[in-house]
Amino acid sequence: MQLFYKALSLLTVFLVACAAAGAQQITPIGIIQGSGALATSGTFTVEGIVTGVYAGLNPAGFYVQNDAAGADGDAATSDALFVVQTAPSVVVGNRVRITGAVQEIASTPSFNQAVLTGPAITVVSAGNALPAFSIISNATYSNATAEPFEGMLVEFSAPVTVTDVAALKSRGELNISPQGLVYQPTQFVDPNDDPASGTTSAGATNVAAVTAYQAANASRILLLDDGRATVNPLPIPYLDATTQTVRIGSTVGRLRGILGYGNSRWRVQPLAGADAPVVTVLRPAVPTFSAIDVKVASFNVLNYFNGDAQAAAFPRRAEPKRWWNLTASAAKSLPPSCR
C-alpha cells in the first residue's frame, strides 16, 4: 500500500510538472517593446485585444494591444504591436493569444515597426471593449517622442491641420501637423544674411538657420494613412462631404486612430465607424463685389528659368529673355480693359 501511494505521488508530481512545462508564458507587450527605439527580437506569446484589422496593407495584418490588466504599466513603453497575417482571421474586439517571432528591422515585413510574424493565434473571446485611447498633446508632439505610442490607439488633444495633399490621389495619404500649418523656411529665415535685416542677395551665411527650421518642420509632420497600400485608391479618401476636395489648411477634428510606422514615416491608420477621420475644408468667404466688371488673365510661367549657362542641357541666360518676350507679347494682345 505504501508503495502504491508513493507511485501515485510520483505520478501526480510528473503530471503537474508536464502541465507547467506545457503552459505558455504570456509576456506583456510593453516588456517586448521596451523603452528604446527597437523591440526585443525573439519568440514570444502575447495576449491582448485586436484594435484594427488592415487586410489592404502591405504586409497585411492587424494590431493587438494589451488592456489595462495585461499592460506593463510603464508609460515609456508601447503596449501594442502589429501582427503580420496575409489574410487576417480576427476581428476588432477579439481577445487573442498569439505566439510568434517578434522583429523590428529596416526591411520587409517590419520596415522599422515592431511586428510579430508566423503567428499561432487562439481567439480567447469576442466582443471585448477596446483599450482606452492614449491622448497625444498637440502642443508637445514630435516624431522623436512618438515611440511609446507605436501601434497603440491614440487620440490627438486638438484638431490637426492638413499640410500637404500631393499623395492623396495616388496613395490615399495626407500630411498632417498637430501644430498648425508649416511654412517654407525662407518665408521667415533669410538664407543669405544673419541677422535677417541684411541686404545680401547671394551667399550662404544663414544656411544653418534654414536647415534647422526645415528640421523643425519635419519633426512635427506625420501621415494620415487610409489603411491600404493601394495605388490610386478609389474612392479617394478624406474628401470633404460638401466641397468634395481637400485643401492645405483643412482640419481633422478629434483625430483618433492607430499610430503605426512604415516607409520612414509615422502614420495614423484610420478606424471605422464613429471614430473614422473626418476632414473639414474651410474655404475663404466669397467677397462682396460692387457693380464692377472683373476680368482675370493668367500666364504659365512654370518654365521661366533663370539659367546659369553652366551646361548645354540647362537653359541659358537667353531663355528668360525669350520667355519674357513671349509673355509681354501675349499681354499686349489682351483688350485694354484687361491690362
For position 39, which CATH number holds? 2.40.50.140
Percent of the chain with pLDDT over 90: 66
What is the rounded average pLDDT of the residues 5-23? Answer: 42
Residue 94, domain member (yes or no):
yes
User: 8 falls in which pLDDT band (50, 70, 90)?
Assistant: very low
Residues 6+ apart with CB under 8 A from 48: 29, 64, 65, 66, 67, 70, 79, 80, 95, 96, 131
113: in domain: yes
Q: Are residues 41 and 54 in the same domain?
A: yes
- Can you give the pLDDT at residue 10? 41
Residue 43 lies in a domain: yes
Asked whether residue 243 is assigned to any structural domain, the reply reads: yes
What is the DSSP track for 128-149? PPPPPPEEE-TTT--GGG-GGG
In the numeric block, which cell numbers belong to residue 159? 484638431
Specify the range with the lowest mean pLDDT, choosing from 11-15, 21-25, 211-215. 11-15
Residue 299 reports pLDDT greater than 90: no
Judgement on whether residues 79 and 115 belong to the same structural domain of the protein: yes
Co-location of 150 and 275 in the same domain: yes
Lowest mean pLDDT, pick from 29-38, 51-60, 293-302: 293-302
Q: Which of 69, 101, 130 is the last residue of a domain?
A: 130
Residues 321 and 274 in one domain: no
Domain that holds residue 76: 29-130
Indicate whether 48 and 111 sit together in one domain.
yes
Predicted local distance difference test score (pLDDT) of residue 6: 39
Q: Which residue has the higher pLDDT, 89 or 311?
A: 89
Please check whether residues 85 and 115 belong to one and the same domain.
yes
Q: Are residues 49 and 101 in the same domain?
A: yes
Residue 20 pLDDT: 42
Residue 103 scores a pLDDT above 60: yes
Same domain, 77 and 42: yes
Range picked from 77-86, 203-212, 237-246 for highest mean pLDDT: 77-86
pLDDT band with cut points at 50, 70 and 90 for residue 2:
very low
Q: How confident is the model at residue 311 (pLDDT cuts 50, 70, 90)?
A: low
**Using 50, 70 and 90 to split pLDDT, how confident is the model at 16?**
very low
Listed residues 230, 255, 280: the one ending a domain: 280
* 259, 175: one domain: yes
The tally of domains found in the chain comes to 3
Torsion of CA 270, 275, 276, 280, to 10 degrees: -120
- Do the domain assignments include residue 289? no
Contact 116, 96 (CB under 8 A): no
More confident residue, 203 or 293: 293
Please check whether residues 173 and 254 belong to one and the same domain: yes
Q: Confirm whether 213 is domain-assigned.
A: no
CATH code, domain carrying 252: 2.40.50
Using one digit for the tens of pLDDT, what is the confidence trace for 64-76?
999 999 999 999 9
Q: Which of 91-105, 190-204, 230-244, 281-295 has the highest mean pLDDT?
A: 91-105
pTM score over 0.95: no
For residues 315-336, b (16+ Cβ closer than 10 Å) or e, as one string?
beeebeeebeeeeeeeeeeeee
322 pLDDT band, cuts 50/70/90, is confident
- Residues 50, 89: Cα–Cα separation, whole Å: 11
Q: Evaluate whether residue 321 is within a structural domain.
A: yes
- Please tell me the predicted confidence (pLDDT) of residue 57: 97
The yes-or-no verdict on residue 187 having pLDDT over 70 is yes
Same domain, 125 and 145: no
Q: Are residues 262 and 312 in the same domain?
A: no
Residue 211 domain flag: no
